[in-house]
Amino acid sequence: MADKVKFELEFPVKASPGMLFPFLSTPGGLSEWFCDDVNSRGELFTFFWDGAEESANMIKKKKDSFIQFRWMDDVEDGNKNYFEFKIIVDELTHDVSLIVTDHVIEEEVEESKRLWESQIHDLLHTIGS
């Protein structure tokens, strides 16, 4: 399998971390914008899109701060790739930003960035930001 490259995207968000975090970390919140439906059993999340499904392990989480997932394909391949949602609050302005980190094969970086931009646009619309 080809090596994956890491990229990050930053999005300004007009919402508090406490309001935003459930949309990033719960099945109900994720199914509002990320996919059609989500099931979870402990740390295993199964995401459903148009009849397809993929599972990911939630590998790290800090309430109102960040959540990190690793796709089961990456777990099975023994690599450390992940995707992460991190909430940053500027100390001076108190502006909130969402940082999305992902790992994809190099040829898919631009397409993945466009997909994340579309997905986060849906999230911001959902939360009224």
Domain residue extents for the chain: 4-127
4-127, what's its fold? Alpha-D-Glucose-1,6-Bisphosphate; Chain A, domain 4 (3.30.530)
Question: Position of tokens 């849906």?
Answer: 122
The DSSP-derived string for the chain is: -PPEEEEEEEEEESS-HHHHHHHHHSHHHHTTTTSSEEEEETTEEEEEETTEEEEEEEEEEETTTEEEEEEHHHHHHT----EEEEEEE-TTT--EEEEEEEEEEGGGHHHHHHHHHHHHHHHHHHHT-
pLDDT, one tens digit per residue, over 69-105 is: 999 988 888 888 999 999 999 999 999 999 999 999 9
Report the pLDDT averaged over residues 5-20: 97
Q: Is the pLDDT of residue 1 over 60?
A: no
pLDDT, one tens digit per residue, over 55-68 is: 999 999 999 999 99
The percentage of residues in the chain with a pLDDT greater than 70, rounded to a whole number, is 98
Predicted TM-score (pTM) of this structure: 0.92
Q: With bands split at pLDDT 50, 70 and 90, how would you rate the model's confidence at 113?
A: very high
